[in-house]
Structure 1
Amino acid sequence: MADQKKKITRLKTQYASEKNREQERMKAVEEKRRRGLSRRLTALAAVGILFTIIASVTLISQWSMLEAKKEERNSLEIEIKELQAEEIELKQEIENYNDIDYIAEIARRDYYLTKPGETLFKVPAQQQSD
């Protein structure tokens, strides 16, 4: 069969040459379409990758910011508890300073004041022996 194809001669007519040109033109158009499709798909993939990168960076930065805010909130909650405890102590101190007996005790202890007819004796502090 291969021998028979070699023996066939092609006609060099105007019709045959027009057909060959038409086929070549169709191949060129098809090749151009394929290149265009390839370029469009490459551009679409690049845009998709760029979008994915931007979305990932945004999500990671938001996640880290959220974690920082959680840590800040925890530290502020601890500070609030400490301030509330201090407030309770200060309220107790206010109540104590409104009590006459407490004020008298502080005056005796810190300022060595006495009531009329009282005598104050200062005893040295006992030393602990090891």
Structure 2
Amino acid sequence: MVTERKRKVRELDASFNRAQEQVSEEQLRKKRGLFRRLTALAVIVVTLSVVAFMTIHTQAQLIDEKMEERQALEAKLEALQLEQVYLEQEIENYNDLEYIAEIARRDYFLAKDGEILFKLPKLSTD
């Protein structure tokens, strides 16, 4: 009861097989090319990112140094302005005859006519 059937399997043309192999090889080549391009693009992006980060970091350090230098210079400017105010006051004082007379009495022990100067010992605060 078992009947054997003969199967007829038709073989594909050799040209079709070669065409299919070429198509699969071309797809494989395209995938490899895509992978290479993506890898090259990733390397370029990473390199540019590192360079950008280093540039930003260097500029941030430079800005910090400049800010510290600015603060130091502003403090020096303030001190110089205070000194300028003091020196301008000294100029005004030295143009005043009464101030000059007071300095002459105090430092050089000069006296006006009829005036007697007494030099007192300094008191020690022990």
TM superposition score normalised by structure 1: 0.83
1:83 aligns with 2:80: yes
1:115 aligns with 2:112: yes
Q: Which residue of 2 aligns with 1:40?
A: 37
Task: Name which of 91, 94, 98 aligns with 1:97.
Answer: 94
Matched residues in 1 for 2:85 and 2:46: separation?
Answer: 58
SS in 1 for 2:104: helix
1:31 aligns with 2:28: yes
Task: Name which of 42, 51, 57 aligns with 1:60.
Answer: 57
Quote the sequence identity (%): 45
Q: Give the alignment's Cα RMSD to 1 decimal.
A: 1.7
Query: How many residue pairs get matched?
Result: 120
CA distances 1:40-91 after superposition (whole Å, capped 9, x unpaired):
0110111111111111111111112112222222222222111111111111
Q: Which residue of 1 aligns with 2:4?
A: none
Gaps of 5+ in 2: 1-6
Structure holding more helix per residue? 1
Matched residues in 2 for 1:61 and 1:119: separation?
Answer: 73
Q: Which residue of 2 aligns with 1:70?
A: 67
CA distances 1:10-58 after superposition (whole Å, capped 9, x unpaired):
53xxx62111111111111111111011000110111111111111111
Matched residues in 2 for 1:117 and 1:98: separation?
Answer: 25
